[in-house]
Amino acid sequence: MRLLPTFAPLALLSALLSGLPAVSAAEDFVCAPKQMLKVIVQADIPGLPPTHFARAPKTMYRYEQNMARVEEQADPVSGMRLLMIVHEPDIWVIDRAKNAGEHTIDPGPTYRVRMRIFPDSVKSQAIRDLEFGCEVQMMTKAGAKTRTEGDVTVYELADGKETVLLKTDTASGRPLRVELYGGDKRLAALDYKQYAMTTPVDELLFSKPEGVQIREKPAQ
């Protein structure tokens, strides 16, 4: 299984192969959008300068349970422009600035993609399990409380000292913003700049890119 680190401050190359947790609020829930989903998010992290790379928008695609794509903008410090494509069991990690990358095979035994919103540093398993593409379903399954604020529906999930708020457009159900709190302190947030289900599926988005120098990475 491929676990994608989609929370903006994380480096794309830190992606790790991982099995399902032994105890998980979402262990019996498989996020598998039936239409291709395109999401653009931008991090809002207290204390970071407005021009920090962690605030740069990130574009993601996912389809069914085995296809995903994550695109980062160019990092002004390292010069890297990372792209990850997953079409299980094939995985490509590419630096678009150098037009080169690696290909590896997911050893399995589970061939599915998990596009988690938050990193492993979050202590709550229920909050860590939340994924792009199934935000409302997973919040509801985990027992989130709901309230309405004007045209916005707020889902609130508290677990221990951590709380996550998911704000959606009441009319369409489209996610607008997700916020993570530790106690009363807001730790981070993501604004959804785009959230759209599209048809037909563009299979090329989940395939080996043409014209890129690919090195085979030994299986782990």
Question: What tens digit of pLDDT does each residue of 17-43 get?
Answer: 232 222 233 457 899 999 999 999 999
- pLDDT of 9 above 90: no
pLDDT reading at 75 higher than 70: yes
pLDDT digits (tens, 9 = 90+) for 127-168: 999 999 999 999 999 999 999 999 999 999 999 999 999 999
Strand, helix or coil at 89? coil
Instruction: Choose from 12-16, 74-78, 107-111 the range with maximum mean pLDDT.
Output: 74-78
Q: What is the pLDDT of residue 153?
A: 98
Is the pLDDT at 59 greater than 80? The verdict is: yes
168 versus 109: the higher-pLDDT residue is 168
173 in helix, strand or coil?
coil
Q: Which residue from 161, 198, 152, 197 is spatially nearest to 181, judged by alpha carbons?
A: 161
Q: Which of 142, 112, 197 is nearest to 25 (CA)?
A: 142
Residue type, 17: L
Question: What contacts 50, CB < 8 A, 6 or more positions away?
Answer: none
Cα–Cα distance measured from residue 36 to residue 194, given in angstroms and rounded to the nearest whole number? 13
Instruction: Give the pLDDT score at 14.
Output: 32
d(CA 197, CA 191): 17
- What's the CATH code, domain 2-216? 2.50.20.10
